[in-house]
Structure 1
Amino acid sequence: MCILFWTVNSHPKYRFIFAGNRDEFLDRPTAAAHFWPSPHEHILAGTDLEASATPSHDGTWLGITRDGRFAALTNYREQKYLGRRSRGALTRDFLRSGNDSAIGYMKDLKEHASEYGGFSLICMNLKGDHQKDMAYFSNREGVDITPLSQGEIYGLSNSVLDKPWEKVDNGRALFKDIVNQSHLSKEQLIESLFDLLRTTKDTCGSPTMEDINQDPAVALEKAKKRIFIPLFLFGTSVYGTRTSTVILVDHEGNTTFIERDHYIADEQGQREDNDQKAAYKPVVDHGRTFYFNIDN
């Protein structure tokens, strides 16, 4: 259950503002955000190392390139459906695809979209001369390729873009309030966005995740109302918000990419408590930060 917020050209200082959470099983093998090895050293993204994902372990949920190509993916919530192809390849292939426009890439994707489990995909070219090349596509609910607009505040989770969950509507309003505070310093803007991504309050006053921890199906339903998902047991695995990412691109193309983890493994905790959740402990740090310019 990931959640994404973004806007393009809504701020006097920034061309692109993005904030997103990755919700995932904490034992799923993952590589943190990094610049990929040659021949794809222009790509900055984490990678999914799960054996059942892409054979080369280079699928990803979001990423950006040194020349301003950006892509992010959320899964569509449905009864378990495993497509023939890994959805992590959707973002990867756009980031690799060189001169393809966002809409052109999605037109090609649309031809074989039924081979994937349900997804929502956003693709953009953020370089100065491509600021209108932005699009959204989902292979569920009959959604067609949809151009995205400058100046709009967008939010997306595990439904389609035009049918947002409650936490998306709530978070989008909070995101808009932050974006409208143009007096904030860069550091204040970044921390305000991370504060948004750490919002655990239920938008409808429902029981806490701990109250419903013994029923994974109910927990997943309640998670639809929370921007930040506290840890809970789903079967024998621990699920929750693993990482948060903030990306800023100013009007000169200067890019700041920050990824922060929320938990680290604590094997001692698991041994002492015999509790799967105790195998992970919260971590508070400044994560990984990358600086580069997409217009050069």
Structure 2
Amino acid sequence: MCILFLAIRKHEDFPLIVAANRDEFYSRPTRSSHLWQPDEVVLAGRDEQAGGSWMGLSRSGRVAALTNVRGPTEVVEGGPSRGGLVLDYLRGSHQDSDYLEMLEQEGERYSGFNLLFGHWNALHVYSNRNPLAVQLESGFFGLSNAALNTPWPKLSRGVRAMEDYVSSTGSPDPDQLMMLLRDESRAEDVNLPHTGVPIETERMLSSIFIRSETYGTRASTVLMVDQGGGYHWIEQSYGVNGTLGQKVTYNGTFQAGGQ
């Protein structure tokens, strides 16, 4: 997962709204969101190469999503898969404070990452490159391949679009959020971040929705949670050059009092 936009307690009917894109090489085998066997407690996509996930939820109300920190020095050769962190959290029964302690102790083993995790109404962001957990209070947030709310052009543009969406809509329309996630506007060269990749790559990566022959947005996911803990999950998959793939939708209600 490479970019997330969040509205937390900013819509009167939906205290949590998440719109997110996962960017990856098209050649990496992937399964769309589904209920994981054997217990069907976890709803998430699956990275078939390493076995983890990039974003998901559990029936108890846990939510987790991952973005990579971009940069040639952020890779730990031979380190464990970052996608395992999402799955471990969703399947676990530990308190968030205990999970955070584990992240602080084990984080250096992993390549650079940002992890959104928590019960749906008490979310945190932790980065192993800035080892400080932030609890997300009411507001609009963006998370990409640097620290929370780093003002990269595509992140700032998406957060503004989320603000406009929440302020202008009565009953939320997930299709509008999908349109936000399809934004292919690229930044001017003068506004590009410098993350150690070639300028042509920085240009390609500067849009919210990425497409090419080899790498791009593989899935767009919208999660909306209403006041009663009812969740609405929509995922649209994409293939090479942004061709439409499978679309899946799940609706349910989190277990009362789940952690």
- The TM-score normalised by the length of structure 1 is 0.78
- Residue of structure 2 aligned with 1:201, choices 160, 182, 185: 185
Unmatched 5+ stretches in structure 1: 207-215, 233-237, 264-276
Q: Assess if the C-alpha contact under 8 Å between 2:6 and 2:140 holds in 1.
A: yes
With over 3 angstroms needed to count, the CA separation of the structure-2 counterparts of 1:281 and 1:99, relative to structure 1, is closer
Residue 61 of structure 1 and its aligned partner are, at CA, apart by 0.5
Unmatched 5+ stretches in structure 2: 191-196
- For 1:145-200, what per-residue CA distance to the aligned partner results, in whole angstroms no more than 9, with x for missing partners? 12211x210101111114342210111111111011232x34xx211100000000
AA at the equivalent of 1:27? S
> Match of 1:5?
5
> Match of 1:211?
none
Residue 99 of structure 1 and its aligned partner are, at CA, apart by 4.2
> Match of 1:231?
212
**Structure (1 or 2) with the larger CA radius of gyration:** 1
- Residue of structure 2 aligned with 1:172, choices 136, 155, 159: 159
Q: CA RMSD in A?
A: 2.0
Give me the identity figure in percent: 35
Q: Kindly indicate whether structure 1 or structure 2 has the higher relative contact order, using CA contacts under 8 Å at least 6 residues apart.
A: 2
Tell me, what secondary structure is at the counterpart of 1:289? Answer: strand
Tell me, what secondary structure is at the counterpart of 1:145? Answer: strand
> Match of 2:227?
251
Matched, 1:137 2:126: yes
Residue 201 of structure 1 and its aligned partner are, at CA, apart by 1.2
- Aligned pair count reads 248
Deviates more, 1:245-254 or 1:78-87: 78-87
Q: Assess if the C-alpha contact under 8 Å between 2:209 and 2:217 holds in 1.
A: yes
With over 3 angstroms needed to count, the CA separation of the structure-2 counterparts of 1:62 and 1:284, relative to structure 1, is closer
> Match of 1:75?
68
**CA distance, structure 2, for counterparts of residue 31 and residue 114 of structure 1:** 28
**CA distance, structure 2, for counterparts of residue 246 and residue 229 of structure 1:** 17
**CA distance, structure 1, for counterparts of residue 219 and residue 234 of structure 2:** 10
**CA distance, structure 2, for counterparts of residue 138 and residue 284 of structure 1:** 31
1:28-107 matches, cutoff 5 A = 28-39=28-39, 41-50=40-49, 53=50, 57=51, 59-79=52-72, 80-101=75-96, 103-107=97-101
**CA distance, structure 1, for counterparts of residue 78 and residue 46 of structure 2:** 19
Q: Assess if the C-alpha contact under 8 Å between 1:8 and 1:15 holds in 2.
A: yes
After the TM superposition, which parts of structure 1 deviate over 4 Å for at least 4 consecutive aligned residues? none
> Match of 2:193?
none
Residue 17 of structure 1 and its aligned partner are, at CA, apart by 0.3
Tell me, what secondary structure is at the counterpart of 1:223? Answer: helix
**CA distance, structure 1, for counterparts of residue 82 and residue 136 of structure 2:** 21
Tell me, what secondary structure is at the counterpart of 1:112? Answer: helix
Q: Assess if the C-alpha contact under 8 Å between 2:30 and 2:46 holds in 1.
A: yes
Q: Assess if the C-alpha contact under 8 Å between 2:217 and 2:242 holds in 1.
A: no
Residue 281 of structure 1 and its aligned partner are, at CA, apart by 6.8
- The TM-score normalised by the length of structure 2 is 0.89
Tell me, what secondary structure is at the counterpart of 1:14? Answer: coil
Matched, 1:217 2:198: yes
**CA distance, structure 2, for counterparts of residue 73 and residue 35 of structure 1:** 19
